[in-house]
Amino acid sequence: MSGAGPGMASSDGKKTFRIGMLGFGTVGAGVAQIVLHSQPSLKDKTGIDIRLHKIAVRDRKKRRAVSIDPGLFTADGEEVVNDPEVDIVVEVIGGIEPARGLLLKALANGKAVVTANKALLACHGRELFEAALAHETSIGFEASVCGGIPVIGALRDGLVANRIETIHGILNGTTNYILTRMVEDKAPYAQCLYEAQSKGYAEADPSTDVKGLDAAHKLTLLSNLAFHSVFDISEVHAEGIDRIALEDVRYAADLGYAVKLLAIAKRRNPGADPEDFPGGLELRVHPTLIPFSHPLANVRDVFNAALIRGDATGEVMLYGRGAGMMPTGSAIVADIMDAARGSARQTFTKLQFFQNPREDLPVIPPEKMRSRYYVRFNVDDRPGVMGKVATVLGSHGVSIASVIQKEPHETGHVPIVMLSHVTIEERFQAARAEIEELPFVRKPSAFYRVED
Ligand code: NAP
Ligand code: HSE
C-alpha cells in the first residue's frame, strides 16, 4: 500500500482504497453492510473512498446476510491476497489456518491487514507482527478484543501516559449472555448457548467461549499492549463457566455478590510473606464473585467492559457490545480507515507490540496467585462439623471472613458457605482438599475466587 499521512486523504493523493475480504460470515457481513451504507459519510468525513473488491468464502453459493455483487466472490483466498488492486486485506475467517498463511502472503505483498482474529494473534502474533514490520505495513486488530469497544486504541493511545496496574474485563460476550440469561431468566444452559450461537456471538467451536479460552486470547493481547511485553496464551490460567452451579449463584447473591467470567491482569509487588512469589503479573480468567456495587457487576447480556487502572488516571471503564455483526464490523471499518489514512502504518512501526523481551514482569504461577475465596462444603448435619472445617482452614493459614450455614438439602446434607480473607491459591487448595477427605464431608466442594 502506498504511504499516507494525516489529513483528508492519503498524503500521496490516493483516495480510493480497495478492500479484499477473507471470510463473509457474521463479521464479514457486518463490515460489508457498513461499507455499503456508510460509504458517502465515510468519504465526507475523511476524503477516502473504500470499495469492496474481492471476497473469499468457503461456499460461493451460500445465501448471504447482505446482498453483494456475486461477481466479487471467490473460493480461493490466494486470489484476494495476491490481487495487485487490493490495498487492504480484512481477515474474518477465524482460526489458525488458512488465515495465518494468507495473512503472511498479504503482508509480504505489502498490503495492510485488518483482522478480528484474536486466537491467531494470541498464538502467532509475533510472527505476523514481525512480517508486517519487515514489509513496512501494518496490522489493525481493534475488532479482536471487545467487539465494538475501542479498547485497543485506548490502551495504545489514550492511556499511553500510564503505567497500567490492573485490567479487569468481561471480555467474552457469549458467556456473559449465557450467565445473564441463566441467572435472571432461569433459562437452561443449553438454550442460552443456542441463542448466543444463533445471534452470531459464539466462536465456531463454542467450547472456546465457555471454557474461557476466548477471553484468555483477548487478555493476552490486552496484556501485551498494556505491559509492553510478550505473553504466551499458555501463561494465562483459564477456567470457564461450565462448572458454575446455580445454587452458588444464589448463595453468592445472598452475600451481596454477582458471578461473572472475569479476565484479570494484575501487577503484584513482592509480598512480605516468605511463601509469596517475588512479584510479577497475574494473568487469569475464571468465574469470579464481585460485589453488586462493583462497576462490572451490572454488565449484562452480550455487553463487555474493560476496567483498566492506570497510575495517572486511576480507574477507566470502557463498556459496549462485545460481539455481533455490526459492533465488530464497526471496529474493523475503523481500522480500515486508519490503514487508508496511513496512520496505522505510522503507529504500528512505533508500537513495540510483540517486540520486547520480558525481563522484569514474570507471570506468577497459578498456585501462587493471591485471592479471596468463596467455598461451599456439603456436610452431614451434626455437632462440631463447622469447628473441624475451620480448624483445617486455619492450619493452612486460611483465615475466614464470614460463614453461613444454609437449610439442609432434601438429600440430608447441609451446605456451609464461607468467604476467606486473601490467601495464596496453593494454601486454599490444600485446605479444601483436606476438608473434602473428612468423613462428614460430601464431595465435591465448590469454590470461586472473589475480587472486591
Ligand atoms: P463465521 O460467521 O463462521 O464466518 C467465517 C467466514 O469465513 C465464512 O464466510 C466462511 O465461508 C469463511 N471461511 C471459512 N473457511 C474459509 C476458507 N478456507 N477460505 C475462505 N473463506 C473461509 O465467523 P465470524 O463469527 O464472522 O468470525 C470471524 C472472526 O471474527 C473470528 O476470528 C472470530 O473470532 C472473530 N470475531 C467474531 C465476533 C462475532 O461476534 N462473531 C466478534 C469479534 C471477533 P462460508 O460463509 O462460505 O462458510
Ligand atoms: N465469541 C466472542 C464472544 C466473539 O462471545 O465474545 C467476540 O470476540
Q: Out of 54, 218, 260, 266, which one is annotated catalytic?
A: 218
Cell numbers found for residue 410: 432434601
pLDDT(80) > 60: yes
State mean pLDDT over 205-218.
98
Whether the CB of 83 sits within 6 Å of ligand 2: no
CA 137, CA 342: separation in Å to the nearest integer? 9
> What local confidence, expressed as pLDDT, does residue 355 receive?
66
Is 394 in a helix, a strand, or coil? helix
Amino acid 93: pLDDT? 98
Give residue 110 CA to ligand 2 midpoint distance, Å: 29
The pLDDT of residue 351 is 72
Predicted local confidence at residue 14, as pLDDT: 84
Tell me the three cell numbers of residue 445.
466442594
When pLDDT is averaged across residues 262-271 and rounded to a whole number, the result is 90
Note the residue count of the chain: 452
Give the pLDDT of residue 407.
81
DSSP-assigned states of every residue in 311-346: TTTEEEEEEEE-SSHHHHHHHHHHHHHHHHHTHHHH
- Mean pLDDT check: name the lowest of 9-23, 148-162, 427-441: 9-23
Q: Which CATH class is domain 152-321?
A: alpha beta
Q: Give the closest residue (by CA) to ligand 2 atom 7.
A: 323
Q: Give the CATH class of 370-450.
A: alpha beta
Q: Is residue 308 over pLDDT 90?
A: yes
Once rounded to an integer, what is the mean pLDDT over residues 201-218? Answer: 97
Overall average pLDDT of the 28-51 stretch: 95
Give the model confidence (pLDDT) of 133-186 as tens digits: 999 999 999 999 999 999 999 999 999 999 999 999 999 999 999 999 999 998
Nearest-CA residue for atom 31 of ligand 1: 94
Q: How far is CA 316 from CA 173, 260, 282, 308, 410, in A?
A: 20, 19, 20, 5, 46
pLDDT of residue 431: 98
Mean of pLDDT over the chain: 93
Q: What is the whole-number distance in angstroms between the Cα of residue 24 and the centre of ligand 1?
A: 6
Measured in angstroms, how far is the CA atom of residue 92 from the centroid of ligand 1? 5
Q: What band does 410 get if pLDDT is binned at 50, 70 and 90?
A: confident
Model pLDDT, residue 277: 75
CB atoms within 10 A of CB 155: 26
pLDDT band at 9 (very low <50, low <70, confident <90, very high): low
Query: What one-character-per-residue DSSP string does 84-101 give?
Result: TT--EEEE-S-SSTTHHH
State mean pLDDT over 289-317: 98
Is 218 assigned a catalytic role?
yes
> What would the DSSP string read from start to end of 163-181?
-EEEEEEE--HHHHHHHHH
pTM for the model stands at 0.95
| From 209, 217, 326, mutation site for ligand 2 pocket: most ligand atoms within 8 A of C-beta | 209
Cα(172) to centroid of ligand 2, in Å?
Answer: 5
The answer, yes or no, to whether residue 4 has pLDDT greater than 70, is no
pLDDT of amino acid 350: 77
**CATH 3.30.565.10 applies to domain 16-148+327-351:** no
Domain residue spans in the chain? 16-148+327-351, 152-321, 370-450
Copy the grid coordinates of residue 395.
492450619
